[in-house]
Amino acid sequence: MRPEELVGLAIEVAEEGMAAGEVPIGAVVVMGEDIVGHAYTRDRSAGRRLVHADLLAMDEADRRLGWSKRSAPVVLAVNLEPCLMCLGTAMALGVEEISYGLESPADGAAGIVAVWRPARPDMPFSRIPRSWEAFAARSAVISSRVTPRPRRSRGFAPGRASSPICPIEHYVQPERSVALGWNRRRLPGTVTSEAYSRTTQGGALPYRGLILDFAGVMTIPLMAPIRDWCVSQGLPVDAWANALGGHPVGRSLYGELELGRMTQAEWNAATAMLLGVEPDNLMGRAHAEVCAEPSMVALARRAREAGIRVALLSNSYGRDPYDPYTATGVWDLFDHHVISETEGIAKPDPRIYEVALERMGLTAGECVFVDDTAANLLPAQMLGISTVLADGPGTARRVAALLSLPHPSSMP
């Protein structure tokens, strides 16, 4: 199979992970015509860090293949660029080719390939996989290429370590082969290739919608003010992050808050006990120094002036007694508001992106979505929305360029 077709298989595994509530990252390991390993990322269900999709898929392949002689080259395909840890694992496993779908915005290891200078290049474990390619794909095309889930009954059960080696033809329908629309550009600062290719070809862009996340996109980064608040309360600097993201009860409480199953006042009371602080307006006190990001405010205004529909797509942290949207002054910048507590679904559930598109009256291909969390970008990209990672100064300028908007002075 061609590398891009293997990435298509990895994307289907990622879709299974997304349906199970995980971050949609999937991987397959192939030897010849057999899938010898497959997995999706399991950080949410496992509550651990070393559960990357490609790492789990390679571990399964290693347990199946062991030290036996390889009948064909071992190939890894994943829908997100592997990190350094997974690259090292691929070298140890003897993977000869790696193909991936999207460039990682944070920890991708592809750049290591060009500068790798091992002390003993003759040693097997020192060899970088000889093929390392990116294929940014349109999921609508991929979906028509991959076998529907019911055909998995032929012994290929996701997550089952004891499942037998599965021939690739159990996954692929040759009779439905189509011309895949793959774009191999490497994209600094963006996740999808569609937006980039439009800008490089010049001319007016057809984008009619801009979808913006709230925290970390429409606001300044939250880390510094939240840490300062922790210190002011006599707490460890990372107490907030540990309570909300590291503590299993804290994670569960925050998930309930996002989905509107718990009021902010109830969340304040429960989380205050984890932190050992007073519950009164806890969310508001912790976010007291969080303000709007001027460059993104200017972008939203300029987009609306240009006739572009602008929507807020936010995983909520409640609106009473502290309303973050009005406190930062961004609520009235938007034509449409899609808030997780109101909808009962939250990113990265693909349904909330579909709600945003329906509310705007636009198709996925007409919209650009900006978020500061890579995991939230993947489902949008798989729906066909062009995506941009908000990763610091310059984000507003990059998005303005995609939308063919002039750069106001407030956009760095």
Taking 80 as the threshold, does the pLDDT of residue 254 lie above it?
yes
pLDDT at site 174:
28
Tell me the percentage of the chain whose pLDDT exceeds 70.
Answer: 77
Could you identify the residue written with the tokens 């107490």?
239
For residue 331, give Cα distances in angstroms to 226, 340, 396: 22, 15, 18
Q: What is the pLDDT of residues 69-128, one digit of tens each?
A: 888 999 999 988 898 899 999 999 999 999 888 777 667 887 777 677 777 766 666 677
DSSP state of 329: T
Q: What is the pLDDT of residues 167-181, one digit of tens each?
A: 443 333 322 222 222
CA distance 115 to 102: 21
197: amino acid identity, one letter:
S
Q: 321 with 295: CB under 8 angstroms?
A: no
pLDDT at site 326:
97
CA atoms within 13 A on the CB side of 256: 16
The pair of three-digit structure tokens given for residue 15, joined into one six-digit string: 């879709």
Q: 15 with 382: CB under 8 angstroms?
A: yes
CA distance 381 to 192: 7
State the average pLDDT for the chain.
80
- Which one, of 79, 108, 334, 323, lies nearest residue 213 by Cα? 334
Cis amide linkage into residue 294, ω under 30° from 0: no
Strand partners, 292: 219
pTM of the model: 0.63
pLDDT at site 186:
27
CA distance 191 to 183: 12
Q: What mean pLDDT is predicted for residues 348-360?
A: 94
Between residues 201 and 409, which one has the greater pLDDT? Answer: 409
Q: 35 with 28: CB under 8 angstroms?
A: yes
pLDDT at site 408:
53
Between residues 317 and 378, which one has the greater pLDDT? Answer: 317
Q: CA 235: distance to chain centroid?
A: 31
Q: 64 with 37: CB under 8 angstroms?
A: yes
Give 7's contacts (C-beta < 8 A, 6+ positions apart).
77, 78, 79, 99, 100, 101, 135, 137
CA distance 306 to 407: 13
Q: 105 with 391: CB under 8 angstroms?
A: yes
pLDDT at site 307:
95
pLDDT at site 104:
74
The pair of three-digit structure tokens given for residue 358, joined into one six-digit string: 């329906």
Q: What mean pLDDT is predicted for residues 280-297?
A: 97
pLDDT at site 125:
65
- Which one, of 402, 410, 406, lies nearest residue 208 by Cα? 402
Q: What mean pLDDT is predicted for residues 53-63?
A: 95
DSSP state of 244: I
pLDDT at site 139:
33
Q: What mean pLDDT is predicted for residues 56-75?
A: 92
The pair of three-digit structure tokens given for residue 346, joined into one six-digit string: 């939250």
pLDDT at site 202:
45
Taking 70 as the threshold, does the pLDDT of residue 129 lie above it?
yes
Could you identify the residue written with the tokens 């390679």?
58
Taking 50 as the threshold, does the pLDDT of residue 162 lie above it?
no
Q: 84 with 52: CB under 8 angstroms?
A: no
Pure H helices in 259-322: 264-275, 282-286, 294-305
pLDDT at site 131:
63
Q: What mean pLDDT is predicted for residues 291-295?
A: 96
Sheet containing 26-31: which strands, arranged edge to edge? 131-134, 97-102, 74-80, 26-31, 34-40, 166-167
Number of H helices, E strands in the chain: 18, 11
pLDDT at site 330:
98
Q: What is the pLDDT of residues 317-340, one digit of tens each?
A: 999 999 999 999 999 999 999 999
Positions of E strands within 228-290: none
